[in-house]
Amino acid sequence: MRRSSSLFTRLTGAVAGIVLTAAAVTAVAAPAQAASLTQVTGFGSNPGNLAMYAYRPDNLPAGAPAVVLLHGCTQNASGYFANSGWQKYADQWKFAVIVPQQSSANQSLSCFNWFVEGDITRGQGEALSIRQMVEHARNTYGSDPGRIFVSGLSAGGAMSAVMLATYPDVFAGGSVIAGLPYRCSPPASTSTCQYSGVDKTPAAWGDLVRNAYPGYTGRRPRVSIWHGTSDTTVVPANATELRDQWTNVRGVGQTPTSTGSLPAGTSVEVYGNNDVRVQRVSGMGHGTPVDPGSAANQCGTAAAYMLDTICSTYHDAVFFGLNSGGTTPTASPTPSPTTAPTCVTASNYAHVSAGRAYASGGYAYANGSNQRMGLYNTFNTSTLKQTGPNYWVIGC
């Protein structure tokens, strides 16, 4: 056991709210082919004491991309891989999938330790173990070092942000699903990060990433962010703070260059030249968006914390350019208003009641922009301006 049981006891209460799925995970049937998710041993010194699983599609060519897939608390590698839909696109577009697995020996709920200093620092702990898995894939499978990506849910999403921050020289891009910004905790508590969110300036968030690898001047990864607007386990404010962090790191502003929509009431904000994308799924709670079905843009299996809305895996795979060099799907553009923008001043309670905002964790957030307006009650008043369909910003 790598950490003392007393540490686990102290952490259990802080991370209990980030539990991502039931212990029993519904699995999909394996395809009629030889390829399967297989445990890999001897991939490195493994200071984080993680298990490595890998999926290599039949006839995987040398120089193919690879995706690192990070499960959430109480999940395991096989369950998350089976339900998330990544196998479908790995088979179709020929890329390897690396699935690290946490254990209760490291953390009582099998959460990746996105809040532990020794695991979120370059060259240490779990971050280094995941880095060693990537190196093993490069050496053993011939994975293209310029096309390595990472995606994760909740605690795994927070760990995805850790990998993007600590190893920008390894990852070309990543996806953070219902996750949190790099170094929200520490120094803040996990409960503060999850249930209230931590508000920092884009520059302050960006400095945390830049300090993860001091002196690095190379390219920084592109980032896709997914969050349900009704998530009460990791509040939607975290998606906005993630946006601020990674747009600053990529050197682009926090005003979208375009907005649009995808299925299942999903709004899309594109920043810079597709440097950062934020997808907010209307009414969705805490989990990975999936959309079971046989269409090209459908994938996954609905289960606990695998929510039947939209196939986020498809959109991330295309965002990463895994579809044989295809282009990123373009979100439907938001029509420009032809009249003066609508401005409404009312109590935060009234804004929520009228559908201009939503409540989460005791606070009100503007629909679309997800800007925090203050406490959700009749005593706090805000002015909101409508800049697109169901898209409101503070001020007028």
Q: What angle do CA 297, 298, 303 make, to 5 degrees?
A: 150
Secondary structure of residue 265 in the 3-state scheme: coil
Residues contacting residue 394 through CB under 8 Å, at least 6 positions apart = 366, 369, 371, 373, 382, 383, 384, 385
Nearest-angstrom CA–CA distance, 373 and 350:
12
Secondary structure of residue 349 in the 3-state scheme: helix
Longest CA–CA separation in the chain, Å: 64
Active-site hit among 154, 185, 224, 261: 154
Secondary structure of residue 55 in the 3-state scheme: strand
Q: Is there a catalytic annotation at residue 154? A: yes
Q: What angle do CA 39, 45, 46 make, to 5 degrees?
A: 55
Question: How many residues are there in the chain?
Answer: 396
What the block records as the tokens of 374 is: 């203050």
CA dihedral 72, 200, 239, 215 (to 10 degrees): -70
Nearest-angstrom CA–CA distance, 13 and 257:
41
What DSSP element (H or E) covers 130? Answer: helix 125-141
Secondary structure of residue 322 in the 3-state scheme: coil
Nearest-angstrom CA–CA distance, 289 and 231:
12
Nearest-angstrom CA–CA distance, 327 and 322:
9
Our measurement of the distance from residue 105's CA atom to the centroid of its chain's CA atoms, rounded to an integer in Å, reads 25
- DSSP state for residue 61 in the 8-state scheme: P
Nearest-angstrom CA–CA distance, 291 and 315:
12
Q: Which residue bears the tokens 């942000």?
A: 161
For the chain, helix, strand, coil in percent to 5 are 25, 25, 50
**Hey, what amino acid is at 133?**
M
Residues labelled as active-site residues: 154
